[in-house]
């Protein structure tokens, strides 16, 4: 797993690679080896100003003058190029995040490419409408770009979540400033290279790297940015709302989750066990929609939790670069420490540890690895039942009947996703309607498609990513009245 050379990466502004104005850099660490794999530029205010100016000039210039169909052609090329370079970019994704190369190459790269090509098809289909109004007027609407969009992206799915924001923004004619997480900037920079290769005009896509606490705040407060699309934790989302108030930016927020995965006694038990395992351990549990609360009918809870725990014990963390690995490294030392802290809190509050619970060693003595962890006997008031851990830690909670399952599922500040496992189709649809969540899976978990909207209720945020519904957040409507009176 050892890496021998350290990459050096610059900012991408106005189609050019440049050092930050201050010359400062930050290190990117491979969480599987604890080695520095790259140094990237750490931007300051002058760099943010330059990126905004470049994005505005492109919006008013070459990008704004390009036909919608030609925008779509260029976006389709981005998707093609992502797949041409899939092996290389997947390696970067695994290198800075620690996820298995299988996930990066076989799941996330195709999803990112598909996103660009889905929205490429939308580019020339975004249009206004004529409205029959009283009086002798021709009244019609125009759908116009919002302007300069800032995409602030977290570290758990760096490339996919960037594509969810950049692709619809470009389809609608906006220009973009990407601010990747400081831990995982490499694939956003790779996307910039691809944009340059396929002929995206300078200034349309800019990538600014640096700490969120400083660079992110500069973006939030910048008067030249018209919209922010953010994915991340709820507390940061609240800060962005406060910081954007002065300039009244448009905002979409996809925030945290504590998603309930509900298993009724009439479910296909083996399928539900697999779904519960996938729901919490895919992506090391570093997934906004992770099924971190397993709600199980009390009549089957012991058998069911035993089966989930048995599967968890067989999931052994391994070298993320090994194609056979299915559980990689926790993305950072800070996140590993956070996960371990929650595990200790759960023990102190009386939850029963039935699998995992400790740091894992894959034989190198290095890396931020954690055993997949399952707690039984969790009650709704316990910390691990209420707070987002963002790691491979499952809290199993029992319920007595359908109404208690719904009540316990909805007893959360979050509302990003949920799942229902049952063979009773009426019950499935009844519960799905009652759940306060932006996505509800029935007899499956963690299924996504670019054509299906994704977003949250309550403190999981607002707005939708993917699908036609995302386009609403990247356009603004203008009404035009024409007097036809003689």
Examine the residue annotation and report whether 221 is marked as an active-site residue of this protein: no
Which runs of E-coded beta strand occur in 31-170? Answer: 35-41, 130-131, 137-145, 148-152
What whole-number distance in Å separates Cα of residue 147 and Cα of residue 60?
Answer: 9
> Residue with structure tokens 């929650």?
342
Q: Measured between alpha carbons, how far is 192 from 204 in angstroms, rounded to an integer?
A: 10
CB 179, CB 212: distance < 8 Å = yes
- Phi, psi angle pair for 154, to nearest 5°: -85, -175
Buried-exposed string 256-286: b where 16+ CB fall within 10 A, e elsewhere? bbbbbbbbbeebeeeebbbbbbbbbbbbbbb
Catalytic residue, chosen from 108, 114, 254, 398, is 254
Q: Which of 288, 388, 398, 465 is catalytic?
A: 288
Helix, strand, coil percentages for the chain (3-state, nearest 5): 40, 25, 35
Q: Which helix (H) or strand (E) holds 206?
A: strand 205-207
CA–CA dist 15, 439 (Å, integer): 38
Among 184, 465, 131, 159, which residue's Cα sits nearest to residue 331? 184
3-state SS class at 359: strand
Q: 344 an active-site residue?
A: no
**C-alpha–C-alpha distance, residues 471 and 168, integer Å:** 6
Positions marked active-site: 254, 288
């Amino acid at each position: 797993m050892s890496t021998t050379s350290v990459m050096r990466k610059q900012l991408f502004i106005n189609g050019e690679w440049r050092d930050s104005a201050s010359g400062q850099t930050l290190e990117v660490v491979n969480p599987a080896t604890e080695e520095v794999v790259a140094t990237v530029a750490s931007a300051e205010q002058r760099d943010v100003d330059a990126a905004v100016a470049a994005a505005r000039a492109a919006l008013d210039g070459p990008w704004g003058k390009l036909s919608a169909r030609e925008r779509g052609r260029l976006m389709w090329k981005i998707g093609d190029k992502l797949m041409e370079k899939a092996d290389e970019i997947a390696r970067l994704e695994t290198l800075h995040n620690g996820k298995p190369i299988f996930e990066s190459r076989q799941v996330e790269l195709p999803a990112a490419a598909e996103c660009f090509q889905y929205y490429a098809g939308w580019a020339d289909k975004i249009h206004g409408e004529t409205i029959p109004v009283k009086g002798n007027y021709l009244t019609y609407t125009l759908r116009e770009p919002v302007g300069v969009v800032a995409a602030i992206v977290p570290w758990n799915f760096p490339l996919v979540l960037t594509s969810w924001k950049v692709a619809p923004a470009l389809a609608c004619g906006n220009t973009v400033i990407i601010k990747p997480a400081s831990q995982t900037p490499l694939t956003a920079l790779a996307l910039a290279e691809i944009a340059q290769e396929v002929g995206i005009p300078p200034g349309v896509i800019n990538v600014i790297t640096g700490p969120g606490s400083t660079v992110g705040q500069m973006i939030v407060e910048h008067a030249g940015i018209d919209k922010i699309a953010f994915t991340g934790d709820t507390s940061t989302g609240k800060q962005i709302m406060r910081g954007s108030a002065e300039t009244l930016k448009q905002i979409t927020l996809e925030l945290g989750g504590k998603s309930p995965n509900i298993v009724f006694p009439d479910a296909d038990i083996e399928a539900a066990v697999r779904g519960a395992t996938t729901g919490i351990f895919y992506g090391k549990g570093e997934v906004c929609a992770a099924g971190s609360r397993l709600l199980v009918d009390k009549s089957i809870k012991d058998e069911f939790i035993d089966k989930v725990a048995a599967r968890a014990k067989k999931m052994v963390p391994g070298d993320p670069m090994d194609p056979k690995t299915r559980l990689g490294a926790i993305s950072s030392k800070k996140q590993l420490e956070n996960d371990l802290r929650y595990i200790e809190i759960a023990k102190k509050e009386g939850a029963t540890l039935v699998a995992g619970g400790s740091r894992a060693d894959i034989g190198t003595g290095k890396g931020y690895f954690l055993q997949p962890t399952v707690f039984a006997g969790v009650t709704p008031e316990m910390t691990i039942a209420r707070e987002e851990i963002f790691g491979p830690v499952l809290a199993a909670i029992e319920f007595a009947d359908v109404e208690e399952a719904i009540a316990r599922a909805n007893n959360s500040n979050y509302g990003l996703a949920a799942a229902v496992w049952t063979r009773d189709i009426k019950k499935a649809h009844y519960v799905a309607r009652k759940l306060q969540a932006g996505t509800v899976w029935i007899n499956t978990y963690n299924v996504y498609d670019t054509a299906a909207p994704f977003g949250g209720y309550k403190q999981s945020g607002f707005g939708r990513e993917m699908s036609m519904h995302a386009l609403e957040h990247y356009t603004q409507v203008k009404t035009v009245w024409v007097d036809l009176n003689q």
